[in-house]
C-alpha cells in the first residue's frame, strides 16, 4: 500500500506526514506525477489562496494527474485549500477554475450573516446532514467530532449528494465535508485535530488498504 501527499508549493506537509507515521504509514511527499499515478491513496493538502493553489498544480503539470486519479475513484483526501481546489470554481481574489472533481464553487463567508469573526479559527463540531450516514466512511466511529478550522471561504457543492458534513459558525450552517465515492474533502485540518483527526486519518488508511 502506498500513500502520497502532493507537494504543489503550499501546505503544512510535515505535520500531515507525521499523522500518517503515527499509524506506521510512510506517506511520501512528492510533486512527481509518476509517483502520484502509482499511489494507492492520494492526499491533497493546502493552505493559502485558491489562485495560488491552482497555479502551483499547473506549474508542476499536476492538474490532469489529480483529475485522472479522481476519475478512477481512487481514495483521495483533500484538506482545507486542497479540498477547495477539488471544486469547479473559486471566488477568491477573482474567479478561478478549479479541478472540477466535484461540481460546485468556493465562496467567502457573508460577513453580514456570520455573527463571529472571519476567518473562523479554532475548534468546531462537524456533523452529518440529515439523512446521511457516516457508517462505512472515513468518519466511521466519529460522532459530531470537534475539528480544527482556519478559513474564510466555504464549499458550495452543486449537488446535495456531495455534502457529507456540515458545521455551524456564527449562526450560519455550511458544508464542511464533501464526498464523491472514495474522494473526500474536509474544510478542517485533521492533522491538527487531535484524537478525532487521527481517527479520520486512520479510517482513510483503512479505506486505501481495502481498495488497493
Could you list the active site residues?
A: 80, 189, 191
The owner of cell 458534513 is 165
Measured CA to CA in angstroms, residue 185 lies from 8, 24, 103, 149 at distances of 17, 23, 13, 13
In DSSP terms, 175 is beta-bridged to: 155, 166
Report d(CA 74, CA 210) in Å as an integer: 11
Report d(CA 185, CA 87) in Å as an integer: 10
Measured CA to CA in angstroms, residue 131 lies from 106, 127, 128, 182, 184 at distances of 24, 11, 8, 19, 18
In DSSP terms, 169 is beta-bridged to: 172
Pairing of strands 3-6, 153-157: unpaired
Amino acid at each position: 500500500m502506498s500513500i502520497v501527499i502532493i507537494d504543489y508549493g503550499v501546505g503544512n506537509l510535515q505535520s500531515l506526514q507525521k499523522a500518517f507515521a503515527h499509524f506506521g504509514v510512510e506517506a511520501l511527499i512528492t510533486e512527481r506525477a509518476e509517483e502520484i499515478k502509482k499511489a494507492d491513496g492520494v492526499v491533497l493538502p493546502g493552505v493559502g489562496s485558491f489562485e495560488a493553489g491552482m497555479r502551483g498544480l499547473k506549474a508542476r503539470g499536476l492538474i490532469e494527474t489529480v483529475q485522472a486519479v479522481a476519475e478512477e475513484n481512487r481514495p483521495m483526501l483533500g484538506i482545507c485549500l486542497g479540498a477547495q481546489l477539488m471544486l469547479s470554481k473559486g471566488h477568491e481574489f477573482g474567479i478561478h477554475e478549479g479541478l472540477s472533481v466535484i461540481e460546485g464553487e468556493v465562496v467567502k463567508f457573508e460577513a453580514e450573516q456570520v455573527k463571529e469573526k472571519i476567518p473562523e479559527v479554532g475548534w468546531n463540531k462537524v456533523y452529518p446532514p440529515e439523512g446521511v450516514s457516516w457508517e462505512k466512511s472515513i468518519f466511521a466511529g466519529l460522532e459530531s467530532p470537534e475539528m480544527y478550522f482556519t478559513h474564510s471561504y466555504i464549499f458550495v457543492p452543486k449537488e446535495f449528494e456531495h455534502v457529507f458534513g456540515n458545521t455551524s459558525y456564527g449562526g450560519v450552517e455550511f458544508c464542511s465535508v464533501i464526498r464523491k465515492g472514495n474522494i473526500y474533502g474536509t474544510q478542517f485540518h485533521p492533522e491538527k485535530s487531535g484524537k478525532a483527526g487521527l481517527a479520520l486519518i486512520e479510517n482513510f488508511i483503512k479505506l486505501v488498504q481495502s481498495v488497493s
